[in-house]
Structure 1
Amino acid sequence: MTDQRELLELEIEGIINESGENIIVTDSEGFILRAVKNSEEMYGISSEELVGTSVRELEQKKIFNPSVTLRVIQQKKPVTFMQKTGTGKIIMTRGVPIFNEENEIKRIISFSHDMTEIEELKSEYEKLQLKMMRYENEIEQLRGREIVPSDVVINSKTMQTVWGLVHKVAKSDATVVLQGESGVGKTVFAKALHNGSDRKDKPMIEVNCGAIPESLFESEMFGYEAGAFTGAASKGKMGLIELADQGTLFLDEVGELPLAIQVKLLKVLQEKKVTRMGSTKSRTVNFRLVAATNRDLQAMVKTGTFRDDLFYRLNVVPISIPPLRDRKEEIHQLTETFLDKFNEKYDTDKTMHPSALKAFWQYDWPGNVRELENLMERLVVTLENKTILPDHLPFTQKVEEDGVPEYDAQSSSLQEALEHVERNWLLRACRDCKSTYEMADYLGLSQPTVVRRLKKYNIDSKTNHRF
């Protein structure tokens, strides 16, 4: 009997140690009866040390945490979960209860598999996925920068819609009418339509319909043969429409077209042929037409100043570009874009004070983006100050400053005049700055000096009123 028992013990030990599994056997109280010989590699403690130890104690010492054996004892059913050992390994462990005939737990056997390498691979994979996502985002941003011209700012939802439509129709040959107030950037979008098309390697001919005298319009647009009229070039001249062959013809301010030219232009659009002045020979032309206007062409049709047939020929894809006052979230970036542009052009390092940017936001910009660009160039070129302040802006000089009283210089002494100027600067600083430290930076003074001057003039920096 003893020999059979010893033989059974040997068999069990052999199975546990040679199975390739990390096996631990406990009694119903969680005391370890058997442990695989290579347990030290897994748990940092030898099998000899494990045997006789309670899994509760081992859990408290973080030898393995949590204990699958304790969960089996509590739940009285097989349990599987991930477990972390004291050696830093991550293992998949499964505990199985062994019941007697009275359905009482007599033994718990746990099987563990080292998942550390797999978990590390998973972690590396997840990191790689994050990198891939970041790279994809960066690629999309780079693509966006390639697609969107550097002088176009697309931040607002309305402009994103506009740009989406421009990008969508650019590849087609559909005629586009760009509508919007003067200065909103219609020319920029016309160039974007051309550069996004299959005609981008061919010329884009821009015609300002409002800048060519009516008497010269026909010869400029359609060209002329030698001797077609007095003063004509001896060899004749190719018209702007012919120059746009295989490319894009951009008619800016198309609402200014004379009615007589509208008729001839309509014929060219219908037949794709142009006849020079003084000639009976027609030349085939292939161009994509883009028009722009700040006028209501449909209203002009009703008043008879624009042909309805030409209107419908042009109005295939109308795109309305909103004024700058309706997309003020783009003012900051536009300002920075133009500031960088002109700083580089004129080799300067001008900066914008936050209060000047605030004034930009509050202004309605009737001249739109063009007005903003022109103003930034003027400020960079003419200002001696490095920092652009609200007082440098023409539209802030036209209105009386809030809280700054009118001043009669003729009835004051020099000292009074100086004090008046100093007080007004302090009032402006109070209005535009959040703290005396920011005021000091704004005024070019030290913070203690600012505090003393505020007290001198009885100015409350928090309310911008007298105490």
Structure 2
Amino acid sequence: MEPTADLELDSILRVSKDNIVITDGQGRVLKASPNCKSIYGKDVSELIGKSVFDLEREQVFSPSVTTRVLKEKRDIQLMQKTPTGRTVMATGYPIFNQEREIIRVISFSHDLTELESIKEDYENLRARMKLYETEIEELRDKEIKIENFVIRSKPMIRVWKLVKNVAKSDATVVLLGESGVGKTMIAHFIHHESERRGGPLIEVNCGAIPESLFESEMFGYESGSFTGANKQGKPGLIELADQGTLFLDELGELPLSVQAKLLKVLQEKQVARIGGVRPRTINFRLVVSTNRDLEEMVKKGLFRKDLYYRLMVVPIAVPSLKERKEDILLLIQYFLKHYNEKYHKNICFDSMTVDELVEYDWPGNVRELENLVERLVITAENRCILPSQLPFDIQFRHLKDMKFDDEGWGIPGQTMKDQVGEVERKWLRQAAKNCKSTYEMAKYLGISQTSVVRKLKKWKIEL
């Protein structure tokens, strides 16, 4: 080799980031990079003249890529673990003479220790993420206590703690709140968490039983008590709740004539059937719910004061959905998953659709939200539900402050075209506020992007 070529080779060995080892056809080391010490734990002087077969037995090269090249007479690539604790990817190339004999083997060793460390960190991170996911799932399991009931908001967490504490007792519970907030589900939870879980849960909708039949349904009757009565008689709903829980839903609809008898039953724990003379001793726990203001009803003479105070042992006010906005997203996710599984679908909500649902006031509360999600899943023509597919009252909630005349026909003096234009302007302003581009606006509004551009120009609205 000429001096200039030798100098160039030494320079390559010195500046190369990879470790380079050159051997002859018998595997004896002729040259090596100076970084051998840091990678293999040996100085260049300790390698020159040594056989790679010996160095492999000494586990300096473990395994040796050069020995494999010499045996198989082809390019070889393999991973090495070095005495210095490094992970190395070694690649060996044979150099042949005209007789196809190997006269040199050049190997390049690339230090992958840093990459291995990154990989290890990544695996550790994945393991930690898996742990966090498990913990999140456990927390999620704790959030959903009973069917259709999800909790995250502070108001509901306070309610739930009270419900869990009172469930273990035998105290009378009065659940107060708007229709659809989940009072019935809480009543069911109280029963199933109580000592009476093995007994019956008798649910009575006080607003669904005609007043003329209420007394016989509640207290029962003996045979022959009245025309059309069952010949064997019939136990009342209160009697059926013996050793269990009696849940009176819509208590505010309870007729005054029945209120006095109910008070007597609560005081004496006995019930007498219509036409009977012998009262039966009944042991039950009472849970009631109402969406009416019982205190105001007492003032108006519509509800007995003595019954009111008898019932108000543990009153629990369940907040409306608009008072616990944090729960809406969880409820959407929960109901969407539930009805996708029920109807074997894979429907999703666009992010802007979710925003619209979260901002809506939900006068029908959880029941309204659940019904809407079920309807959207059933009727969806496309996989993703856009804002334009939501009901009118949700889409146009931003227009609730518009003024109308006495007949509800919009602002006096305006034509239908004017009013439609006002609606269109409101929609465009809202979309421009929430979106970053005309393409996003088109998706938000459920129209084409060209229509968006034209309408923005028409109404002189800037994005």
TM-score under structure 2 length normalisation: 0.62
Pairing 1:465–2:457 present: no
Pairing 1:293–2:290 present: yes
Task: Determine helix, strand or coil for the equivalent of 2:260.
Answer: helix
Please tell me whether the aligned partners of residues 205 and 244 of structure 1 are also in contact (alpha carbons under 8 angstroms). yes
Aligned-residue offset at 1:399? 5.7
Task: Determine helix, strand or coil for the equivalent of 2:247.
Answer: strand
- 1:177 counterpart residue number: 174
Q: CA–CA distance in 2 between the matches of 1:340 and 1:137? A: 20
Assess, with a 3 A threshold, how the Cα gap between structure 1 residues 384 and 464 changes in structure 2: closer, same or farther.
farther
Pairing 1:141–2:139 present: yes
Aligned-residue offset at 1:341? 2.1
Aligned-residue offset at 1:367? 1.3
Q: CA–CA distance in 2 between the matches of 1:211 and 1:323? A: 23
AA at the equivalent of 1:141: L
Aligned-residue offset at 1:249? 0.3
- 1:306 counterpart residue number: 303
Aligned-residue offset at 1:297? 1.1
Q: Which moved more, 1:333-342 or 1:188-197?
A: 333-342
Q: CA–CA distance in 2 between the matches of 1:339 and 1:443? A: 22
- Per-residue deviation, residues 275-331 of structure 1 (Å, max 9, x unmatched): 111111111111110000111112222222111111111100000001111111111
Please tell me whether the aligned partners of residues 431 and 464 of structure 1 are also in contact (alpha carbons under 8 angstroms). no
Pairing 1:207–2:220 present: no
Q: CA–CA distance in 2 between the matches of 1:422 and 1:179? A: 41
CA RMSD of aligned residues (A): 4.3
1:433 pairs with one of 432, 435, 452: 435
- 1:258 counterpart residue number: 255
Please tell me whether the aligned partners of residues 430 and 464 of structure 1 are also in contact (alpha carbons under 8 angstroms). no
Assess, with a 3 A threshold, how the Cα gap between structure 1 residues 456 and 203 changes in structure 2: closer, same or farther.
same
Please tell me whether the aligned partners of residues 252 and 290 of structure 2 are also in contact (alpha carbons under 8 angstroms). yes
Assess, with a 3 A threshold, how the Cα gap between structure 1 residues 442 and 423 changes in structure 2: closer, same or farther.
same
Q: CA–CA distance in 1 between the matches of 2:356 and 2:136? A: 34
Identity of aligned residues (%): 55
AA at the equivalent of 1:322: P
Aligned-residue offset at 1:381? 2.5
Stretches of 4+ moved more than 6 A in 1?
Answer: 133-136, 406-410, 421-428
Assess, with a 3 A threshold, how the Cα gap between structure 1 residues 192 and 352 changes in structure 2: closer, same or farther.
same
Task: Determine helix, strand or coil for the equivalent of 1:381.
Answer: helix
AA at the equivalent of 2:274: M
- 1:231 counterpart residue number: 228
1:150 pairs with one of 140, 147, 151: 147
Q: CA–CA distance in 2 between the matches of 1:333 and 1:351? A: 14
Assess, with a 3 A threshold, how the Cα gap between structure 1 residues 458 and 288 changes in structure 2: closer, same or farther.
closer
Q: CA–CA distance in 1 between the matches of 2:234 and 2:431? A: 62
Alignment of 1:368-407 (within 5 A): 368-391=365-388, 392-398=390-396
Assess, with a 3 A threshold, how the Cα gap between structure 1 residues 434 and 330 changes in structure 2: closer, same or farther.
farther
Please tell me whether the aligned partners of residues 438 and 453 of structure 2 are also in contact (alpha carbons under 8 angstroms). no
Aligned-residue offset at 1:426? 8.0
Q: CA–CA distance in 1 between the matches of 2:451 and 2:287? A: 60
Assess, with a 3 A threshold, how the Cα gap between structure 1 residues 423 and 349 changes in structure 2: closer, same or farther.
farther
Task: Determine helix, strand or coil for the equivalent of 1:166.
Answer: helix
Assess, with a 3 A threshold, how the Cα gap between structure 1 residues 265 and 444 changes in structure 2: closer, same or farther.
closer
- 1:58 counterpart residue number: none
Q: CA–CA distance in 1 between the matches of 2:281 and 2:439? A: 71
Where does structure 1 lack aligned partners over 5 or more consecutive residues?
A: 1-43, 46-85, 89-126, 411-420
- 1:217 counterpart residue number: 214
Q: Which moved more, 1:196-205 or 1:152-161?
A: 196-205
Pairing 1:280–2:282 present: no
Pairing 1:270–2:267 present: yes
Where does structure 2 lack aligned partners over 5 or more consecutive residues?
A: 1-40, 43-82, 86-124, 401-410, 418-422
Q: CA–CA distance in 2 between the matches of 1:135 and 1:188? A: 28
Task: Determine helix, strand or coil for the equivalent of 1:306.
Answer: coil
AA at the equivalent of 2:391: L
Q: CA–CA distance in 2 between the matches of 1:264 and 1:457? A: 67
Aligned-residue offset at 1:389? 2.2
Q: CA–CA distance in 2 between the matches of 1:464 and 1:346? A: 45
Assess, with a 3 A threshold, how the Cα gap between structure 1 residues 367 and 264 changes in structure 2: closer, same or farther.
same
